[in-house]
Amino acid sequence: DARVTQTPRHKVTEMGQEVTMRCQPILGHNTVFWYRQTMMQGLELLAYFRNRAPLDDSGMPKDRFSAEMPDATLATLKIQPSEPRDSAVYFCASGFWGFGNTIYFGEGSWLTVV
Amino acid sequence: AQTVTQSQPEMSVQEAETVTLSCTYDTSESDYYLFWYKQPPSRQMILVIRQEAYKQQNATENRFSVNFQKAAKSFSLKISDSQLGDAAMYFCAYRSITGGGADGLTFGKGTHLIIQP
């Protein structure tokens, strides 16, 4: 049963610490997305990659967030330094652009910054 | 840019009854995809149903069906014989078919569905 895998599932960290979230997309999918969900803003697209190349990261605060895809099986989202306002659920999602176009989500990483 | 509007923040239905969740969207594109995702308290985003805009036939998945009105830019979700496990947040989402510009899903704010036993 193919699925998007995210780690960690839950993370509590202190303000100022570095946080790295990891994602393994579904094998064969060529597009990977990072979304953030908060009560106030709902679901926001932070960044996405196609064929490992970053296409759009306009949704990310550039000074503290970075997203990379070092290989086809791993995408990372890093926050440094973290702030309380970064507390949210972060979703990784993947899909195959060109056919189907359905996007599948991981279970999310719950981040709390205290 | 596309926008998706879900005008019902919360809906309540008796178990076994039918409920319809509303969604409207705004786009200048002629071809696109529309989706309904379900998010239970676990926060997992689960695909419920999808519709290709070029298809006139409304999509159905077991108890879930949509009423897609392209001219009106409306995409409602009907849940028949509602069950306790259907209780969740439901998100309507839009995705461009071209992907040439901004890709990814544009989501509505969601509708919280409550199932009364």
Cβ A42–B103 below 8 Å, yes or no? no
CB within 8 A of A82, min separation 6: which ones? A13, A15, A16, A17, A18, A19, A64, A111, A113
Give the pLDDT band (50/70/90) at residue B57.
Answer: very high
CATH of the domain at A28: 2.60.40.10
Q: Is residue B102 pLDDT above 70, yes or no?
A: no
Neighbours of A3 (CB within 10 A): 13
Phi-psi region of B97 (alpha: psi -120 to 50; beta: other; left: phi over 0): alpha
Provide the pLDDT confidence category of residue A102 given band limits of 50, 70 and 90: confident
d(CA A93, CA B12): 30
Predicted local distance difference test score (pLDDT) of residue B105? 86
Q: Which fold has domain B3-116?
A: Immunoglobulin-like (2.60.40)
Distance CA A107, CA B43 (A): 7
Q: Is A41 on the interface with B (CB under 8 A)?
A: no
Bridging pattern class, strands B19-21 and B74-79: antiparallel
Domain that holds residue A88: 5-100
Q: Band the pLDDT of B87: cuts 50, 70, 90.
A: very high
Q: pLDDT by residue (tens digit) across B63-81?
A: 999 999 999 999 999 999 9
- Of A31, A50, A104, nearest to B47 by CB-CB distance is A104
Is the Cβ of B36 closer than 8 Å to some Cβ of chain A? no
Dihedral (CA of B51, A95, A26, B112) sign? negative
Of all residues in chain B, what percent carry a pLDDT higher than 90? 78
**pLDDT value, residue A97:** 75
* Nearest by CB: A101 against B44, B97, B110: B97
Q: Say whether pLDDT at B99 is over 60.
A: no
Using one digit for the tens of pLDDT, what is the confidence trace for A37-87?
998 889 999 999 999 998 888 889 889 999 999 999 999 999 999 999 999
A41 belongs to a structural domain = yes
- Does A43 reside within a domain? yes
A20 within domain boundaries: yes
Side chain identity at residue A70, one-letter code: P
The residue extents of the domains of chain B are 3-116
Separation CA B51–CA B73 (nearest Å): 13
Neighbouring-strand partners of residue B94:
B34, B106
| Count of domains for chain A | 1
Residue A112 has pLDDT above 60, yes or no: yes
* CA B87/CA B8 separation, integer angstroms: 15
